[in-house]
Each structure stands twice: as structure tokens, then as C-alpha cells.
Structure 1
Amino acid sequence: MRPQRRYPLLLVGLLTVAGCGDDSSSPGPTAVPPSPDPALLGFPVPDPEPDLPGGIDSYAPPAPDDPSLRDTTIAAGLRMGEPEDTLVVTGDGFVPGTTRFEVFGQTAGQLTGTLEEVEPPQMEELIASVLLPDTMPSPSMYLVYPRTDAQGLPWAVNRTAARWVGPDQVSPGDGCVVYGTSLSYAHGTETAYVYLKPAGPAEGQWVTPTEVNPYRVAFEVPEDVTPGTYEVWAHNGHGGHYGWSEPVELAIVATPDWSHYDAQTFNVKDHGAVGDGQTDDYDALIATLEAASEAGPATVYLPAGTYAIRTTLRIPRYVRVQGDGVGQTIIESTPDFAASNNWLVWDGPCHEGLLGSELIDLTLDGRPGDNYEVLRWRQCTDARLTDVHLIGDVDLHEMHRLHVTNVQIDGHVFYGAASQTFLDHVTQNVGEHRDVMTIWGGEQISFTHHVAQDLDQGQTGGISSGRLLVIQGHWGSSRDIYIGDSETIELSPALDKPDQNSGEQILFEMVNSAYQGTATPATETTATLPGMDTEAIHADDAELVVVQGKGLGQRATITDIDEATDTVTLAPPFRVVPDETSIVAISRVVTDFIVYRSSLQGKADFATRETASSGVQPWGNGFDIVVDGSTFDQLGEPWSLWGINAGDPETPVAPCYFNLFINNTAQNIESGALQYAGTHDDGADSPISLLGNCVRNNEFTNVTGVGITLNGNGSMAFNVWDDNRFFDTWKGVRARQIGDPPAGDFVENLLLRSSFERGAAPLSGSVGFDSDEAITWDLTGTTFDGYESDTP
């Protein structure tokens, strides 16, 4: 290992360093290496870049080597870590025994950054582990440079990554939220930076966040901004000029005319409504809605009472329907509600699309029968549900910019392909063995302060399936979904449910990959797929993932298809272009899904019956999922990862790569963490099902079964369990491959700095570590205590 090198700090513009005063007694550096343009390292900056606030760290990394000399490139990998943490990266040009990594970091108060060379603990030609040195400054953004003969472009760790903004259209004075990862200083909840500027070369302004966490930063749009297209630039305070996120587009518009609901109010009593729960008030309500629609925007007011209707009520655009409060104003069906109409309230014929409608301060009771929905809003924009109680199932497919606030729903919600949907303080109660929520291809959806529980634990049919959210790929990939500060209460399948294979609280069923094969010739933004079937590969909204060979671990969205040449266009560009050794899989996927500071709870009998009860379960095609700072109780396991085929030898692999589970606590569970790799490919070089997944800094207590379980007949490689603590755990590790011989390999399983204590678990039959000999492990710093047998 080379000696540690320190690089002096280069002050740029008005950049200041918190806590760093003038010290004339300290000798200055004799030479200052030039700081490169961030663009040379592949990092964006606003145009023009503003002066950075004083709280942002100074950062002066070394200039890169001549691009013509670069012989090593990092393709993909984990993006969050601290000193002593282990990362996994894939790349090109890795030479075991020769390639090493140079890690740079610099934090507040440092006059010099630190650059240290490290040898990879594990390395193959396409994959390597990187141990961030304990000498690195913290907190910091880290740059990891690969080097064989020459230094390659750096891989950024803890760099601000803004993914989306919501709502994506706002007016001056409105609230707005940036979503992503590593959005806050030191992964905290106090400090973050947001810069708002017009699109293109133009100066902007810093705006003060109103709420901060590592994955969500809220701010208010200044009152004085001019409507137009804007860029939102986030910065977590690390990395100086190199720490900006990519910009996210935001439309700022004048306050829409349709939002002025208070301009006119129409009272349903003035149109003949009675509100006694006996009289059919349908005609009176329709007359009032039509009058409000013609005059809109307007409010339809329903004074306290129960309004019975004989058939479906349609809410027109530009209309708010307002009552006197939940339980005070009620809309319900008459006993002879038309059997041909399955919805109590809806938006009208498909594709007409509501705009600017709102329900507020009332109850909709949609209980005429099992096949009815209390509310169906589809393909609508800028709709709101506020202070409402919905009794019955709800359909919100393809809603856009939907806000649901302070709402109770007694039934299942189908979000379908909803987007830009924001739910805050929603409580759901579900029975009849139903799932709580379903998504079939949604994106940019936020759940905050969401509570889910059974409708009635003591009532026959009052218990749900135990599933909070089921995501499937029928209508597309699901991306950019945030669940924060939310909870489930005793959510798991009922004893009388015929199928006990249920209870996965957050379940991604994304196993139907549609293509597996070569991708040559390829460029940074295109790939040719021989024999491509456009319909079969789900061309709309599918992603391409490199599962074997050069470029391993990378994924990109298919944005266009040239059917004449079997060529797909991809974004973002490949860092490493695939070649003839590469195998790719194409599927609809779940990506960039966040669970933060939430609590998932099953039932107390978790250990006495076999269910599929799990906190978070990506069942194929899950990428860059983060579960952080959450608690899990009374479950089969807090999470499990499945990289598999769909049970058909012709079905391509559905992998899970680079998912991160950090800072969580789990108690009263059967298994701490489960990973399953399945395949139908023959031979030990089958595509990798599980790669680069990381379980870090978690605590598990009262594990009645096994702390860590590995199983399957496929391939998994370079997965990390780092700095975890298991207490009262009956069996520490159990790893088994299926098949004789297995189709794949379990290689470089990195179980580091972790502890397993049997504690109060039974001594009889307890096992510390039990693994097939062919499975390779690194157990550095890991201990097993109090077990009856098989402790290394």
C-alpha cells in the first residue's frame, strides 16, 4: 500500500468552510495541485454556478489523468457509505492483483483533502469490493478512482442524487419536495441546500428547505418568481463544486383559474336535496353539480346530512364538493342502487379526464355490494381528496398530481399507473383477505404518515391479506416511490385465509423478464438485440440490465426502438459499453424505491405458523431500493431478496442488484435476512441473480430461526452484510445451494464486522455458521457466541 497522500485545499470564489477560521500560524502549502473542472469528472453544475453557501464543504480533488491513458472504468455500484464500510462496484479493466483504488474525501474544517490508495479485498475481472479507509474524513462525499496503469474516472459515493420533484407543476408560494438519495448533510435531518433557477443559462436563487431528511427535502417556491420552466438543483453540503445533483425540471405557472373554488358556492338544498338518508337525492345533486360546472370554478356545498343516491354520481371538472365534515355529511347508495353501475362516485367516460376537482369534508359510503367501488377517478389531473372518509374500494389508475390528505379509506386502493401522487396522513383499514394497495406501473408516488391495519380483527372477513403494497409490471415499470414515517399495525394473513403464502407487506412481483441474450453491436446509448420481439420485451417502459459479461450491473431505460434493425435506444448512457461477452435481460422493473423511518408489524403468532410474512420483498427485478431507519416486528423476516426466473425454463433471469438495507432494527422475527438466487440456466456461468446488495448497520433481536439465509440454484456474487448485530438468535448463518450440481455459484459473500449471539435462544440445535463448502465467504471481524456447534 502506498503512503497516504494529502492534497491542499483550493478556495474557489466565495466558498467558505464552517468552523475554519484564520490561522496565520499554520504554514501554507508550498504547491497547490489544480482542481479540475467538475465536468472533467463527469459531474454537473448549474449554468452559471452560484457562489456556494458557507455551510458547504470545501472540496479539491486531484485532476484526472489524461483520458487517452485510462484503462480502468467503474460501471455500476453502491453509492452510499462511510469510513470502514465496504462497497461493491463492477467495471472494465479490472486486473486482480494489479488494479487498486484511490479514495478521496474532504469535509468541513479541513484545509486539505485526503487521497489514499487501497487494495481491493476481493476482485474478479468484472467485480470488486472497496473498503473505504478508516482514515477518511467524515462526513464527506468520497471519490473512488480505479487505477491499473492509469487513473480512471471516479465513482462518487454520498453525492447528492435528486431523482424527481413533486408536484412537478406549482405556482409561486406553493410547497414543493425534492426526492432522491443523499439529499442531506451527514445523512441527517437538519441541513440541505436547494437552488432554483430558470432552465438554461440563467441565474437563480437559493431557497430555504422547510423539511429535511436524506431522501426528501421540502421547500416553498418564492412568491416573486416569474412563471416558466425551472431547474431544481439539490446539494447535500458535501463535495463542494463537485457535489451538485443532476437538475430536475419544475414548471412554475400562475395560479390556475380553476383553483378558485370559492368564487361561487351552490347549495344542494337550493336544488331540492333533502339529506335525510331516505329520500333519493340523486337528481338534486346532479342539478347542483351541473350548475356549478357551467359556472365553474365553483363549490358544491352539502350541509350536514345523509344524501342517498340511486346511481353513480359524476363529479365534473373545476368543481369542489364540500360537506360539513367526516361523519356529518354522508353520500351513500339507496337500497335499489343500480346494479349495472359499479361506482358510487366517478370521473366520467374513460380518457375525458378530470382537471381540478376536489372532495373535502365528507364521507362516501359505497357499500351496496362486493363488486362496487366507492370512488373511481382515472386519468385525471390536479385532483384532491382532503378530510374525507371513503368506505369501499378505490380506483385511482393513471391519476396525475393527485393529493390525498387526512383521509381514511376502508378498502383496497388500486393506483395502477398513477404518477405524481402524494398521500399524507392516510389511514387504511382492509378486510376480506384483500391487499391494502396495488400498483401496476406507477412512478413518482409519495406516502407519508400512512397507517394500514385490518378492518376488524374480531370480525369474520375483517382481516387483510397482510400485504400493504403489491407492485406488479402489467402496465410498466414502477420508479421513484417514497414511503416515509408510515406504519402497519398487526398486518399479516388471517388464520382462516386458505392460502397462507401471503403477508409480504411490501411486495414487488416483477419476475416476468421478456428477453435474455446478446446486445451487440452496442454504443453508449444503443444496443442491438438479435431476434427482438417488440411486444414481448415490453418496449414501453422496460429496462435493459447487463447480467453477465462486460458492463455487468448496469441498467438503462429503453426510450425508443428501431424495429428494422432490432436496435433499442437507452438512457442514461453506459459507462462501460457491452460487447460480445455481455448478456442482457429486459423487463419492467422496480427502481429507486425508498422506505424511510417507517414501522412494519405483523401478528404475534409469527413463529407458530408458516406464512410469507415479510417486511420488504423484491421478488425479481429490484434495483437501487433503499430501506433505512425503519423497524420490523413480528414478521417472518424484515426483508428478503429474490433473484429468480418465473418458473419457466424459457423465462430470463429477474435479478436484484445494488439494493441497500441500513440502520434498521428488527425484533421477534423468524429470519434476519434471506436471499434466494434461482435460474434455469445450465452451467456455473449462469447470469448473476443477486449482485452488490448490502445489509449494513442493522440490529436483529429474538430471531427464532436463522439470522442470515442463502438459498437457491442460481448465482449470487459480492453481496455484503456489514456491521450488523444479532441478539437472541438461534442459528447464525445457513447457506445452501440447490441442485447436484447447482447451476450457479455463491461467491464472495462478505459477512463483515458482524456479531451473532445466541443469548436467550435455545442451546439445543443452535448453530453459529453452517454453509456448503463450495460457497465462498469473507468473515473478517465477524464473531459467533454461545452456539452449540459449527462455529468457525
Structure 2
Amino acid sequence: MPRRLLARLCGAGLVAGLAFAVGLAALQVVGEGAGQAAIASRPPPLVPPGADPYDPPFALEGGSGPVIGDGLRTAGPGETVTLAGSDFAASTVFEVFSQARGRPGAVVRIAPDYAGPAAATLALPSTLPAGAMHLLRARSAKGYGPAFPVNRTETWWLGPDAAAPSEPFAVFGRNLSDPDGSRAAVYLKTSATEGLFLPVVTANPYRVEVRTPALQSGAYEVWAHNGRGGRLGWSGPLTLTIRNAPAWSTVVDVANFGARGDGASDDGAAIEAALAAAERAAPSTLRFGRGVYLSRRSFRAPSGVRWLGAGRNATALRLAAPLDAQGFIYAGGDVRDVAIEGLTIDADRRVSAQDRALIALGGARIRIADSRLNSWGGETLRISARGLEIVRNEITGAGSFLGVSEQVFATGNVFRMTSDAEAAVTSWGGREFALVGNLLVNADPSRADGSGIGRLFVAQGHFGSVRDAYFSGNETRNAAPRDCAAVDCNKGEQIIFEFGGVALLGRASALSPTTVTIPRLSLAPGATRGDVVIAAGRGAGQRRRVVSIKGDVVTFDRPWTAPPDRTSSQFYVTPVAERAVVYRNRLQGRKTYAAHDSNSTAVLVWGLCFDMVVADNDISRMRHGVMAAATSGTPQDSVSAPFFTLVEGNRIRAVNNGIYAGLTFGYDTHPAVLGGVGNVFRRNDIRDVAHIGLAMDLWDSRGGDVIAPVFERNRVVGAPYGMVTGLKLIWSGRLFRSVPPGRGRLLGAVLRGNVFVRGLLLSPGSIGFWASRGVRWSTHGDRWSGFRAGASPTP
């Protein structure tokens, strides 16, 4: 877009002009994921007060030059941006435009650290304005490609996306505010041309909370802006539904139907009669007075009924016989508006079958609050619902399975784990999770069945992709497998996204902007609710959400930014994990972390994961502080790899390994398949390390090259081995080995501004830097001190 036209549109304060809308739509295609309406047909609001000006002098949509398909979207001056795209080469030139308040905009040319066929890394100039939005574009002899935004506001989801007036809701995403929570703006459109800015309650770069205004019921557009990028800085729209909250007006008291609550009588029949009356009067409240209500039967939960006690320390509903249904409280998949509040629900050791739980529900709008749930020895919750609140409960048992639940909010709970259970919360294909302010502990470590294995949240793709998750303010204590002689110690990852075992489907026989035809299409479970991923060749590193699969034709949600071709491109159709933030949590493993060979890890991003953020957490007593690793799992599988994971600003203490990245469990695959692109580990403070501070693992396999990992501005203090790149480090102990020539390649790797200090515990075998033969890192101002050997990045 010409500079004069854009300046005229912005200066006039117009909602949008045709050229502006087209340019902004092109920017969104590069800069955001699916699930949002086309900006061209829904112009954004006016610039929020105090926002930066933004007047780029070049067209956003680009020409026939190199295309940036995806990349890391958060970086400041002097920090590294990693990119995936098409037609990159050593001669590719990059340009960046930045502009902030009080400064004129400027275009700066950047020489990349690395530019290979599928990826590139480049450091933003230190002279750029801090806290600004940057537009990148690539140039070759063919011309310029389209612009790619860094630090632009990204709205991912709303939680909840349906709320009553005055209720809070939050915008979740990335780059939503400055690090201190300032400059966040949320705009709600009340009509095609009008709207209002909503007062911000709390804000951080990944979540902004506001309150629902007093408007009529209906659907409204929500936009967000972080003060950067002028008119180009808006992200949206997402849809907020304003609705009336359930009234629960009629009260049905179980005592009026003969329930005694004396802890001795069987009140099951009386409660069932009262429940039937409450169902007829719904929306209604089923009230339990003070006491202990025993029942030898289970209860079907009807829609529109709130179960209300006098408080979890005053009212208990207790199962007095073996469970005779899928749950003590249960319902099918169509229940709506069910609440359980102020109750203790107890089925101690009476829930044992794997397909049963204390509470088993399916449907929509389910709330469990201020209650005590006890299913020691069995599953506590088995719920698949859209709209699930789990708030301020004490939950004891073998974890909860949430299937494909969506819009899940677990806030202020205490999870007391038993029976070496898998996880407090497990999702096999859900989306839109917010776990905030929860505590994970072992129920009674003095008992053999009184501990879990350390997992707060597990995401796996058995039923589809897991999308959009936010973890903040959570705490774990003494969380890891208790005894490797009694427990499977290949576990213990406190927050894990586990997406390995994908099959390479091969080349396409036909392509269109939103379809790919793959002959003899054979799909893994959950693929119909998964993604199309370009695993190799032109366009590699991009993914799109599956809309439908008919025969060999897969239809997806939006066109590719960097289109694939029928000659080189290879595809997966598979569940993935995408867009998760683990921010400001306190995660603790066991004190035996150095000797206890479990997979105790604060956060594990494992396999096919995109846009994951692990930032500003306090991590201690782990086998591995944070892992971001690729895997091929078995010889029949291709490589599942993370893309553009950002691990930033974490404080990691008393660990065996600080940060662990690269390829694990590698087997031969197609040579062009990527083993991950652009994972960045930045400004982490790592201290008191028993083994390796920063570990990059490689295997003796063909294919699955690890491309463009970046370690910058990290500080490692008190580690016998500062940084190691070697063969099968996960099993290496102190004897590091090199990767055979041509196997397990590491391409475009960058070290920038890291500090490694051996510290007071100097040992004869300490090594500051060790790298496999043939591995080269691009180094920029790194420092090593106090090591016996390898005090510089030279193998």
C-alpha cells in the first residue's frame, strides 16, 4: 500500500478504506491462526487512545519474493526471530519496519544468521524501538514477499465466550499487553459502526480480563490491541455471546421428601424423589441441609438443576455401596445448566473401574464449585462438556478425564492425588482451557497409594487436536513418580503436551487453496478433528485445521501462506497441540531429582506442537527443567516436532538438566522431514545444576533435521557441563558421544549473549561447551568462566 494512502486513511480517522482492508486482511493471513472472521469484511475499530502511530512505506501483501509462512512472533531489539518459509537462500535479504511514539518509522536491512531452504534466523537490530511492532519481509532477485508481523496483538480465544452482564471474561492470546500489563485495550462492537472500550480489570501479555457490559442478549465482536502498530495492531474479531444467567429460582429441599442426613439412614430414595421434583420445576435448586446423606444408589443429574449444600464442611453426600452406574452423579451427553455447590461428595474407594468416575457428565454449562470431591482410588471427574467451571474445590482421587471438553476453567482448586494417577486433568482433544491458581499435592505420601506421579495436566491427541490453553498461578509440591521400582518412571511431566507417533502420508496428487488430495489416504485416530501439516518440502512448517475429509480429499480452513507443491511437499493429517501458554507458575518436583531417573519435568512440549509459550515460571527439583523435543517414536512413524516454542524468563533451580531440546528417540525418515523449526530459549536463569545446563540432543537417524534452535541471553550458574550437543544425551551420563556423519543434523543453530559460570563446585571434569563433531553453532558474545575445559564454543 502506498505510504501516502495509508497516512491519509489513518489521519482522517476512517473506519476502513478498501485498500487498507485488503492490506490488513493480507497481514492477518500471515500473522494469525484460524477461527477468526476475515478482517476485510469486518473493519477494525479506530486506534485506541495513546496507541503508536504506524505508517509502513511498503505494501503488506508483497509480490513474488520469498514467503514467510510462519515464525516466532515475540522479540525485542537485539533478540532473534526464527522463521519458516519458502524460497529462502543464503542470498535472501530481510527488511524490518518499526515505528513507536515519538519516533519516525524506519526500514532497516538485516543480514540473517542463517537462511536455508525451509527456515531462517535473524537478530532484530538493537537500535529498533523497544516495545514496538515490527514488520518483516524477505527479498530475493524475484522481489519482495508479504509482510510478517512481530509483537502484533494476537487474540486466540475468549473465556468464557458466553457471559451475563457484569460477569468477567478474558481475552487470551499473545502480545496482548506490555510485560507490566499496561497498554492493553479491549473493544466490543455494539453495531457495524459503533462500540466501546471495556475497562481492563487485570492484564498480562497472554490474558486480559474485562467485565461484560450491560447490553441486550446477543452476539458481539471483541477486538484487542496492545498499543503497537496503529491501525495494523488490531486483532480480532472474536465472538462474545451475552446471555442471561440461570435463575435457579425454585428451591426443592430434600428434607421435605424424607431425607434425614443423619449419616446412618439410606437417603437415596428420598433424594431421588426430590431430584425428580426439581427436574419438573427447573431451573431450580436441590437443597441439602447440614448433615451426612448416605445413598446406596447413584443419581442421574437433570438439566437446569443446581445441587446446593450448606458448605463442604457442613453437608456430605456419601456413597454407601459399590458404584452401580458410570458415576455417583451422572448424565448423558445432552445435560445443560448443572451446578454442584457447597457439598462434599464422597465415594471413598468405591470408584474403581476405568470407565467410571465420582461425577460423570456430558453436555454444556456445568459448574462444580466450593465442594469437596473424594474418589480415593478412582477417577474423580469424567466430563465432556462445552462450558465447564471447576472452582475452589478440594479434589481427592486418581485424576479427572475431560475428553474433548471445551471452554474449561479450573480455578483455585486443590488436587490431592492418589493411586499413582496419571494426571489431575487430562484432555484427549479439547480446547480452550484455563487452569489458574490451582495446587497439586500428594494426598498422603506416607501411604503406598497416597501419591500421584506428578502430572497436573496431560494433553494427548487420541480424539483430536488440543488447542488454546492457559496456565497461570498454579503450584505443585513434591510432584514426581515416587519410586521407580513401583511406578513407571517414564512419567512425571507436570504439564505435558504429548503429540508423537504421526505417519508421513506422502505427496499430494492434487492441490487447491483449501484442499489437498492424498492417494490411499490412511488416517490415525483423531485426524478428522486434527490438522493438515506440511512436514517437508515447499511450505514446510505450516498447519491448517481440518474441516472435512471425504475419500482422499482433505478440506481445511484457510489457504496456505506459503503454498505447497506436488513435487516436494509431504503431508501429515493428524492431531496437534497448538497455542498454549504456561505463565508464572511455581512447579516443584522431588528432592531426589538428581538420582531419581524419572521424566520429572516442569513443562514438556513433545512432538507436533505449535506456538507454545513457557514464560516467567519458578521451577525447581526436576530431572529436566523444561523440555521441547521431537520424536519419531517407532521406525514406522515419521518425526513429530515442535515449532516456534518460546521458553523465556524462567527461573530454574536445583535440576539435573536445565533446558533439554532437540530430537529424542529418532528413527530414519524421509530426509526432508523437519525435526522442528525455530524453538527459542531466551533469558532463562538456571542455577544449581547436577548435569547439563543447556542440552541439545541428537540421534543417529536420517531425516528429522533440527533447524534454527536459538539459545540467547540465558544465564547458567553452577553446572558441571554448561552446554552440550551430542548423541542420545538422555542416556549419556557423563560420557558424551558424537553423531555419525550425515545423521542427526543440526542446522542454523544460534547462541547469543549467554553466560555460563561453573561456580564454587569446581570439579575436574567440568566442561563449559561440548559439541558433536560436525555440529556448528553461530555464536555471538557468549561467555564461559570457571570450567576446566571447553570454555568456548569450539568442539
Residue among 339, 346, 353 paired with 1:365? 346
Pick the aligned partner of 1:108 from 101, 106, 123: 101
- Offset at 1:686? 4.4
**1:446, 1:15 → 2: CA distance?**
37
Residue of structure 1 in register with 2:161 after alignment: 168
Q: Secondary structure at the match of 2:115?
A: coil
Q: Which residue of 2 aligns with 1:12?
A: 10
1:469 CA displacement = 1.6
* C-alpha contact (below 8 Å) 1:36/1:64 kept by paired residues: no
1:178 matches 2:171: yes
- In the alignment, which of 596, 610, 625 is matched to residue 623 of structure 1? 610
Q: Is the 8 A contact 1:539 1:561 kept in 2?
A: no
1:771 equivalent in structure 2:
771
- State the alpha-carbon separation in 2 of the partners of residues 118 and 514 from structure 1: 38
Report if aligned partners of 1:516, 1:653 keep a CA contact under 8 Å in 2. no
Inter-partner Cα distance in structure 1 for 2:166 and 2:341: 22
Count of residue pairs brought into register by the alignment:
751
Task: Tell me: CA distance 1:709–1:108, structure 2 relative to 1, closer, same or farther (3 Å).
Answer: same
2:628 and 2:645 in contact (8 A); partners too? no
Match of 1:751 in 2: 751
Moved more, 719-728 or 637-646: 637-646
Deviations 1:256-287 (A, max 9, x none): 5xx111x2212211111111111001111111
Q: Is 1:91 aligned with 2:85?
A: yes
How far apart are 1:498 and its partner, in Å? 3.3
Secondary structure of 2:125 counterpart: coil
1:193 aligned to 2:182?
no
Alignment partner of 1:252 is 2:207? no
Matched, 1:473 2:489: no
User: How many Å separate the matches in 1 of 2:322 and 2:593?
Assistant: 43
Structure 1 CA distance for aligned equivalents of residues 760 and 6 of structure 2: 53
* Structure 1 position 438 matched with structure 2 position 436: no
Q: Does 1:483 align with 2:450?
A: no
Shift of 1:755: 0.8
Do residues 131 (structure 1) and 123 (structure 2) align?
yes
User: In 2 relative to 1, CA 654–101 (structure 1 residues): closer, same or farther, beyond 3 Å?
Assistant: same
Match of 1:355 among 332, 336, 346: 336
Deviations 1:396-444 (A, max 9, x none): 4321111111111012111111111111111101021112221111101
**Residue 308 and residue 787 in structure 1: after superposition, are their counterparts in 2 closer, same or farther (change >3 A)?**
same
Distance 1:294 1:538, change over 3 A: closer
| Alignment-derived partner of residue 25 in structure 1 | none
Q: 2:204 aligns with which of 203, 213, 225?
A: 213
Deviates more, 1:441-450 or 1:46-55: 46-55
Q: How far does residue 741 in structure 1 lie from its aligned partner after superposition? A: 4.7
Rounded to whole Å, the distance in 1 between the matches of 2:230 and 2:150 is 14
Segments of structure 2 that go 5 or more residues without pairing to the other structure are 29-38, 729-738
Q: Which amino acid aligns with 1:650?
A: Q
Q: Deviations over 1:688-710 (max 9, x none)?
A: 21211010111100011001112
Task: Report whether the alignment pairs 1:230 with 2:208.
Answer: no
The superposition leaves residues 298-338 of structure 1 with CA deviations (integer Å, 9 ceiling, x where unpaired) of 1111111000001112222111111111121000022xx14
Correspondence for 1:340 among 324, 327, 340: 324
Deviates more, 1:575-584 or 1:490-499: 490-499
Q: Report the more deviating stretch, 133-142 or 50-59.
A: 50-59
Partner of 1:55 in structure 2? 50
Go from structure 1 to structure 2 and tell me whether the alpha carbon gap of 1:298 and 1:65 turns closer, same or farther (over 3 Å shift): closer
Is 1:39 the counterpart of 2:24? The answer is yes
Equivalent residue letter for 2:329: V
Residue pairs, 1:683-702, within 5 angstroms:
685-702=671-688
> In the alignment, which residue of structure 2 is the partner of 1:283?
269
Distance 1:740 1:722, change over 3 A: closer
Alpha-carbon distance in 1 for matches of 2:751, 2:562:
29
Q: Does 1:79 align with 2:73?
A: yes
Residue 614 (structure 1) shift: 0.7
Q: Which residue does the alignment assign to 2:762?
A: 762
SS state of the match for residue 736, structure 1?
strand
Deviation of residue 204 (structure 1)? 2.1
Q: Which amino acid aligns with 1:783?
A: R
Paired amino acid for 1:92 = S
RMSD of Structure 2 on Structure 1 (CA):
2.4
Judged with a 3 Å threshold, the aligned counterparts in structure 2 of structure 1 residues 12 and 375 are, in CA distance, closer, same or farther, namely same
Structure 1 residues 508 and 211 mapped into 2: Cα distance closer, same or farther (>3 Å)?
Answer: same
Looking at structure 2, the residues matched to 15 and 454 of structure 1 have their Cα atoms a distance apart, in angstroms, of: 58
What residue identity is the alignment partner of 1:113?
G
Instruction: Please state how far the C-alpha of 1:538 moved relative to its aligned partner.
Output: 4.0
Partners in 1 of 2:647 and 2:125 — Cα distance? Answer: 21
Residue-by-residue CA offset, 1:738-771 (whole Å, 9 max, x unaligned): 6645543112221111011000233221011111
- For residues 125-176 of structure 1, the C-alpha deviation after alignment (integer angstroms, 9 at most, x for no partner) is 3221121011101111110111224332111001111011122222333321
Q: Distance in 1 between matches of 2:309 and 2:439?
A: 24
Distance in 2 of aligned mates of 1:498 and 1:656: 28
Give the drift of 1:36.
Answer: 9.3
Partner amino acid for 1:217? V
Q: CA deviation at 1:380?
A: 1.8
Where structure 1 has 5 or more consecutive residues not aligned to the other structure, the ranges are 17-33
Query: CA offset at residue 458 of structure 1?
Result: 2.2
Q: How does 1:516-595 map to 2 (within 5 A)?
A: 516-533=505-522, 535-536=523-524, 538-563=526-551, 566-579=552-565, 580-595=567-582
Offset, 1:355: 1.0
Distance 1:295 1:363 in 2: 24
Question: Counterpart of 2:373?
Answer: 390
- State the distance in 1 between where 2:382 and 2:326 align: 15
- Is this contact kept in 1: 2:61–2:146, CA < 8 A? no
CA pair 698-220 structure 1, distance change in 2 beyond 3 A:
same
Whole-Å separation in 2 of the counterparts to 1:37 and 1:522: 25
Query: Does residue 488 of structure 2 align to residue 499 of structure 1?
Result: yes
Equivalent-residue separation in structure 2 for 1:679 and 1:502 (angstroms): 16
Q: 1:683 deviation in Å?
A: 7.9
Equivalent residue, structure 1, for 2:695? 709
Partner of 2:590: 603
Secondary structure (helix, strand or coil) at the match of 2:539 reads: coil
Letter in 2 for 1:39: L
User: 1:503, CA displacement in angstroms?
Assistant: 1.2
Rounded Cα–Cα distance in structure 2 between residues aligned with 1:597 and 1:287? 47
Give how far 1:681 is off.
5.9
Return closer, same or farther for 1:291/1:35 CA change in 2, 3 Å cut-off.
Answer: closer
Which residue of the other structure, out of 107, 119, 122, is the alignment partner of 2:114? Answer: 122
* Residue equivalent to 2:36: none
Q: Is the 8 A contact 1:88 1:692 kept in 2?
A: yes
TM-score (norm 1): 0.91
1:456 to 1:742, Cα distance in 2 relative to 1, 3 A: farther
Q: Output the CA distance in 2 between the equivalents of 1:293 and 1:238.
A: 52
Aligned to 1:29: none
Tell me if structure 1 keeps the 8 A contact 2:464–2:527: no
Aligned pair 1:790/2:790, yes or no?
yes
Q: 1:682 to 1:608 in 2, by over 3 A?
A: closer
Task: Provide the secondary structure at the position in 1 that maps to 2:337.
Answer: coil
2:732 corresponding residue in structure 1: none
Secondary structure of the corresponding residue to residue 242 of structure 1: helix
Q: What CA deviation, in whole Å up to 9, does each residue of 1:343-389 have, x standing for no partner?
A: 22222xx33x2211111111001114350666323322111111111
| Alpha carbons 1:417, 1:442 under 8 Å: kept | yes
CA contact (8 A) 1:14 1:52 kept: no
Structure 1 contact 166–177 (Cα < 8 Å) conserved: yes
**1:394 Cα deviation from its structure 2 partner:** 2.1
1:633 deviates by 0.4
User: What is the TM-score normalised by the length of structure 2?
Assistant: 0.90
Say if 1:71 and 1:151, in contact at 8 Å, map to a contact too. Answer: yes
- 1:289 alignment partner, SS class: helix
Aligned to 1:23: none
